[in-house]
Structure 1
Amino acid sequence: MLNEAGPYRFGTQIVSRDVALALKTIGYEEPTRIQSDCIGPLLAGNDVVGQAHTGTGKTAAFGIPLVEQADPSQVFIQGLILVPTRELAMQVRDELVRLAQFRRLGVVACYGGQPISKQIAALKRRTHIVVGTPGRVLDHLGKGTLRLETVRTVVLDEADEMLDVGFLPDIERILSRTPRNRQTALFCATMPSLIRRIVGRHMRSPVWIRIGSEIETSPDVRQVYIEVLEQDRVRAFVRLLKTQVSGGKVLMFRRTKAGVDNLAQALQRQGIAAAGIHGGLVQSERNAAMRSFHAGELKVLVATNLAARGLDIPQVSHVVNYDMPQNLEEYVHRIGRTARMGRDGTAITFVTEWDFPMLDLLQDSLAGELKQETLPL
């Protein structure tokens, strides 16, 4: 329990006793930079655009103000959070439940791959905050099982990823169903032109907050590349696994769903506990893979960029770019899955004969952080 009589603080920001107790229970002692910069403006009612990479604590940056401002005694939907993937919807929902554990707020996640009847039943209960993917939120709006006229705050989380997969029309349809005087917060890692279109059309004089630059990487990530023939990448990884990767977990990236499946099967044939995750799998398959990876039953998780976006796996020791990232931002996002919350990590990029132009771009941009290594004998 909290000993002090108050006021209760998270960093320099005063929070309620209920939220302070939740933060203490969770183990949050000091805010991250994105939290320090966002919580105050959001509590003051400002619209906010926050640009920060994965692993910086942005869920709590908008979650703490959302939980603080929601009124438990008013049993209607007060907050809406839109996210690009099912996994991220579940992750954000779980974080908000933890933050609201002493506030008696109902938080419901709405996403595809789960029977909509379960979500309809949940929405009929005590619901104050909804977290959802755009497609499933529109399904509920069409059925009349979700109403947004009472929403006070909308959060667009990982907005750049939602735009990348074509969710802009869906997002705008959803926003049109919310009050014009709502508060809007938008979080992204990159700043494509479509983001500025959303800001211009749907936000009111937002506070802009940028944590780091688009090419900034964590100093806790050891970045290396290994030149390898395209057809030798599986053999090269198996060798790395035997010589360099001991007790940690490995997240490998491929560009396509078929590539994920093929690589996971190739690793399994080598006796490696591996599984793949991508948007083409049914929800039960994705959940089973994640449970096994969390439990340590799997050594390697192979994923597409989008599937990995919502994964909450703090113990990833190695990220392996089996396929070369297609741009600098993608590289930074991928390697940001390791060395999270103060841990060290290693990012290994395989460079085939086709990848040298992209390698040159990465080396020019990363100022010597990406170093060559040879495959262990």
Structure 2
Amino acid sequence: MSRPQEPNRPFFHFGNPFRMISPKCSQLSSRLLSLLKNFEATLSERLKKLVPKDKGDILSLSWMKLAMESLSEIHCDIKNLITELDLPVTDWDEKWMDVYMDISVKLLDISNAFNSELTRLNQGHLMLQYVLHKLESNSPNQFTRATSLLDSWKQHISSKNPRVETCWPILDNLVGSLNLPMVKNSSKGKVLMQAMYGAKVATTYICSVFTAAFSGSAKFLLDLTVPNTLPWTQVFLDVQTVVNVEIRNIFFCGKFTVLRELEAVDACVKKLYLLLQDGAGPSERESFRKSVSDLRTTEEKLAQGLDNLSKVIDSFFKIVLTGRNALICNLRNANDAAANSMIGKNVKEQLVR
């Protein structure tokens, strides 16, 4: 999805980073002001969802699914806003087009990287399925093979995915260009750019959380600064503080993984591995059976969580791709219409002569 032949453009390569596009929105009509306020109020509500009642849920696969669903909703809100603004593609400033196209291609790349990590984790799920098949056969001859498979699973899960590492340069580029641009001579353009700025802040932050979780490194977790003049600023900063503190606490503990469901599976694997190493005698048989059952339960929960998260990331990918393709198609149609109009004009002039 990347375009290596093109230089990386900053997302907003113009304007003062922390200057409002319209200081008091005095230039906006009541309708446009209402559209902007509704978008930003909805953005605040979507961000609030990221703070669960129990902080222990942060970095669970169910919480990550909720975060990606919120991100998809934000991008759908942008698409709906563009429709409501009724801003023909022919009226789009070239800089606005760069904004939309640049972030879309970056998000497609990031989505592909996330999906590659989910695929890798699912491969670990298949390995554990085979282990459980061996252990539930109750054949002592299978125990040695199961121990070897558990070693392979540990090595597989603890390995790094180079695809996830590619997300950092993309995020770094987006962060370096996070600013709120000045837009002149277009009230609709002002609304569009301010809304897209909010969507970009939320997108960059949430993607940084996923990158940190999948890479196992807190260095990818961002602390973004945004203008305090926006109605959703305080909500975003509150969310960022709560989520970042909890995630950094998880990393500080130095656990095998920061993903909650995967951590539960690892705990079961460690217990079962020790029993296999020591040999499950008559007194340990009940403990052994329970350990196998616990691994089955936690592994199934992990597999379901991975599947659900994969589906919402696929959905997000399609939302971004559909919006991008629609804009390209509209631009192409507008150019074709302009070209046909020019041809018709030339033919008419020739007939007159």
TM (normalized to structure 2)? 0.24
More strand by share: 1
TM (normalized to structure 1)? 0.23
More helix by share: 2
Highest CA radius of gyration, 1 or 2? 2
Q: Of the two structures, which has the highest relative contact order with CA contacts closer than 8 Å and spacing of 6 or more?
A: 2
